[in-house]
Amino acid sequence: MEKQLHLNLLASRPPMAGGFQSSSKMKMGPGRKRDFSPLPWSQYFETMEDVEVENENGKDIFRIYCSGSHGPVLLLLHGGGHSALSWAVFTAVICSRIDCRVVAMDLRAHGDTKVKNPEDLSADTMAKDIGKVVEVLYGENPPPIMIIGHSMGGAIAVHTATANHIPSLLGLCVIDVVEGTAMDALNSMQNFLRSRPKTFKSLENAIEWSVKSGQIRNIESARVSMGGQVKKCEESTSSPGVSNSIGEGIIEEEEDEEVEEESNKKRMKEDDQEMTKESIFTWRVQLSKTEKYWDGWFRGLSALFLTCPVPKLLLLAGVDRLDKDLTIGQMQGKFQMQVLPQCGHAVHEDAPEKVADALATFMVRHKFTEFKEGYLC
């Protein structure tokens, strides 16, 4: 149960027993080698662009991926440590279901977004980012927008909606994040983060780990989205798998130390260099350093969600994730809820068709859009 609680903070998941057992996509014949090669964003999105946003410190640049030319805008916000590419397979599916436009953005300090102050990941700052990007994209008269967020992105979606940063907001969809279980998980989150590999020998290696560990159960989605989670290390830097304090300790030691200690330090340096050569990919976001913002993302989230004055959809990987406030709200009909079993925390990656079907049905029911001609729901 403790491991399950971790799912509500980050878009990642501790290793699961059996690895591949929950996804039919991963059942392959004996002797066949699985393909963990990366897939390009262009296979799923139509365009990619960088949006410049002015602030008091200069310009922030947000990477967005888009598809569709008409219909309401689906604004997609990813989970902690992930990127807009986590929505790639879902985007291709939803665009085949309904008339819509998709805008998936890399949040600050994530993916290929570049901001002046990447350390500021407060809910307030990230919600303001969303509003500014929408303003740059659409001006003073934005089209109808449905905001959809997963995990951390779901929390930011709620904060964005309640702060009225999107005046043309149609609806709100939150995927697998609930205040109660998220808050319970915070105490043990650092241990979970330390359990992950620090580095990978290649992008293929990272993709393979994400699938075999159960973080992403859909191999196709892993092949396109993991490139947004990891980056190639700078050759001049020491390996991120080795603590900086070790390297600093080597430099700062007194000169009159014993020869044996000098020899030990030399071996440590050699080991460091060797690891740097072998481990060339590391995480883009050091999530452990964002701890001071975790409470602000999730505390009071259920009450905020329930007060949003637009139609709301909550998609969960398990009904056990509901906390008291949401259970009461759901019984009172304040939002629509759907449980998608046999999914991990990355619901939209593990089961993009099921999430697309749930969202399409929700939007058509509320007359936000229409099914595409020829699509049979």
Q: Where are the domains of the chain?
A: 41-196+290-366
- Domain 41-196+290-366 classification at class level: alpha beta
Give the tens place of pLDDT for each residue, 254-310.
233 343 444 454 444 444 444 445 559 999 999 999 999 999 999 999 999 999 999
Mean pLDDT for 214-241 is 82
User: Pick from 80, 86, 82, 91: which is nearest to 47 by CA?
Assistant: 91
Residues in the chain: 377
The pLDDT of residue 234: 65
pLDDT tens profile 306-355: 999 999 999 999 877 788 889 999 999 999 999 998 898 899 999 999 99
Mean pLDDT of 206-217: 95
Q: Which of 99, 112, 176, 350 is catalytic?
A: 176
Does the active-site annotation cover 120? no
From 23, 83, 151, 279, the catalytic residue:
151
Residue 345: active-site member: yes
Mean pLDDT value of segment 188-207: 91
Contact 200, 282 (CB under 8 A): yes
Point out the catalytic residue in the list 150, 159, 345, 348.
345
The identity of residue 157, as a single letter, is A
pLDDT of residue 90: 98
pLDDT of residue 191: 83
176 labelled catalytic: yes
> 184-189 long-range contacts, Cβ below 8 Å, gap at least 24?
184/5, 185/2, 185/5, 185/6, 185/7, 185/8, 185/9, 186/9, 186/294, 186/295, 186/298, 188/2, 188/5, 188/6, 189/6, 189/9, 189/10, 189/291, 189/294
